Chain A
């Protein structure tokens, strides 16, 4: 069985700061990490490999330093890793990102399962998984919190707004997963030292390697453009109520009523 895991390098949003003047993320001094849900996608792949055997390829698109998340995936048990990196990929929106990832998957060759996180903690769109599935013309199972792989098909439990559903799909199939799916293992020391060495089974591909035309990927291949980013102003109007508990409660109720908030009968 061949499994491709999509992993993305993201800024650790524990310490994300926004430049109030430009509205851009301050990336200096911010640690980069693997997108948290992608660790669960990788763990799902490793779990399948443990039970049934599989060849796992970790794939990312990003700047040169994104090789770190590929090293991490290989150190954790992926058999090989591919970094898509090229100036031509820069400025990609989710459409152009999905196109590049989809072309790379075609170049990888035969696959049975593609696993991705549901959503990246920076871009936050949750579009990549579904768009890659559409690009490849294969079924997609999103919001997966439980899965079972049987002969030639997969059964997954999807979380919906008002419950969940169990559905089945044939291979090849793409899944986007939630953190509830599993508990990710840690990379091994031997794996880390191997993945950060010359012997690492890691390749770097550029646009030509995946047969991408300049107009299909990166800024030029993007259907959307960011015209402005800004931090919404939070205008807070704090009022301190004073007095005895009884009078504070009465004032509070009056304030809420003035705001048109219904408090029941």
Chain B
């Protein structure tokens, strides 16, 4: 019996999720976007691949994968549909991470494990009307009352809120402590006092649902505070590199989709008796897209490699997210130009890339705040 090298796991994940995307997502992407609602059937289809558990230990039913493998997976999904990639990322990371790390065994059995099996939908709520880029502005209050917490306040722009079964919510427990007074709390759907608004009508990622949450004297047990008192923000910071790398990977997937559509169309469409791809100004667009996509890819997977080595490359993750999301927007923009009027037609996918890419600019930190952070890391502030 001889030994042969097994494939590199991330290569296998890329190949299998590329095929999944081509067989299952791409043929239905437009339909999902037009339906303008959470496609639970697709959420369940993705669940059957075990995708939601990719980052978690096999002990809890996960795949035991690393950040590189997670990012490869969401990149491939994003090439087909940003909505599907976005709710997958939410379920894999932000929506479940605090429950995994700080939840009780009961939380694990009742909520976490069903969530990674795709039986429950997770959600993550930081943003408020006056606290978005500036998290220190969070006004939702959690007050301890015996062995319970009483929560009052509201959140907005919450992905999955209309369909989620549980929420990880950032609340203030001690205003005087500023960022050190912030903590995450688990709130389950159906808890008295929790109100979910009607879903937002929005430009892109229309197969995800977003709404507001309002809390009026919502009572949760003491153990629903996820993490030690005052460590909400520092726990969030530990995850931030992964969130940014992931958003960069989503951007990369969308940029590739825009590029592939543009490159194909450039070789099909003729004007002046020639393929438009034979015109140098069209070639310039293709060349710039391809070059920037390659640069994004190098940045994203360099950052994930650092994270997987146990480093916390916040500066590099910020750079990768900033760069890759801007590249995605440029690629989507250039693709619409290559398509001309047809990019303006709802019958072509390019308009969807053009709408969906805008989401990448805000989640995980806006370009402006990321530039501020990068400059500070460079010693200029």
Q: Which residues of A contact B (CB under 8 A)?
A: 31, 64, 67-68, 71-72, 75, 83, 85, 185-193, 195-198, 200, 202-206, 209
A-B contact count (CB 8 A): 80
- In the complex, whether B264 has a CB less than 8 A from a CB of chain A is no
Least CB distance, B93 to chain A, in whole angstroms:
14
- In the complex, whether B53 has a CB less than 8 A from a CB of chain A is yes
Least CB distance, A99 to chain B, in whole angstroms:
20
Contacts of B8 in A (CB 8 A): 196
Contacts of A71 in B (CB 8 A): 6-7, 12
Nearest B residue to A85 via CB reads B4
A187 to B50, CA, bound (A): 9
User: 10 closest A-B pairs (Cβ-Cβ)?
Assistant: A189-B63, A188-B50, A190-B63, A189-B50, A196-B9, A64-B4, A189-B54, A204-B4, A192-B12, A196-B6
- In the complex, whether B1 has a CB less than 8 A from a CB of chain A is yes
Flag if B12 contacts A195 (CB, 8 Å): yes
Contacts of A83 in B (CB 8 A): 4
Given A186-B20, A186-B48, A187-B49: A192 and B1 interface contact (C-beta under 8 Å):
no
**A-contact bits for B1-16, CB 8 A (1 contact / 0 none):** 1111111110011011
- In the complex, whether B62 has a CB less than 8 A from a CB of chain A is yes
Least CB distance, A64 to chain B, in whole angstroms:
5
Flag if A68 contacts B7 (CB, 8 Å): yes
Least CB distance, B17 to chain A, in whole angstroms:
9
Contacts of B63 in A (CB 8 A): 188-190, 192-193
Least CB distance, B1 to chain A, in whole angstroms:
6
A25 to B150, CA, bound (A): 69
Contacts of B5 in A (CB 8 A): 64, 67
Least CB distance, A191 to chain B, in whole angstroms:
7
Flag if A188 contacts B49 (CB, 8 Å): yes
Flag if A75 contacts B16 (CB, 8 Å): yes
Contacts of B64 in A (CB 8 A): 190, 193
Of the residues B1, B4, B12, B48, contact of A209 by C-beta under 8 Å: B1
- In the complex, whether B51 has a CB less than 8 A from a CB of chain A is yes
- In the complex, whether B224 has a CB less than 8 A from a CB of chain A is no
For window 1-43 of B, CB contacts with A under 8 Å fall at: 1-9, 12-13, 15-16, 19-20, 24
Contacts of A193 in B (CB 8 A): 9, 13, 63-65, 69
Q: Which residues of B contact A (CB under 8 A)?
A: 1-9, 12-13, 15-16, 19-20, 24, 48-51, 53-54, 58, 62-65, 69, 73
Of A68, A71, A72, A193, the most chain B CB neighbours within 10 A belong to A193
Nearest A residue to B70 via CB reads A189
Of A192, A195, A197, the most chain B CB neighbours within 10 A belong to A192
Given A68-B7, A75-B16, A196-B7: A189 and B2 interface contact (C-beta under 8 Å):
no
Flag if B13 contacts A189 (CB, 8 Å): yes
A64 to B6, CA, bound (A): 9
Contacts of B73 in A (CB 8 A): 189
Flag if B16 contacts A206 (CB, 8 Å): no
Nearest A residue to B73 via CB reads A189
New contact pairs (20) apart from A64-B5, A188-B48, A195-B12, CB-CB < 8 Å: A72-B12, A72-B16, A85-B2, A186-B20, A186-B48, A188-B50, A188-B63, A189-B49, A189-B54, A189-B63, A189-B73, A190-B58, A190-B63, A192-B9, A192-B16, A193-B65, A196-B9, A200-B6, A204-B4, A209-B1
Of the residues B2, B19, B50, contact of A191 by C-beta under 8 Å: B50
A67 to B2, CA, bound (A): 12
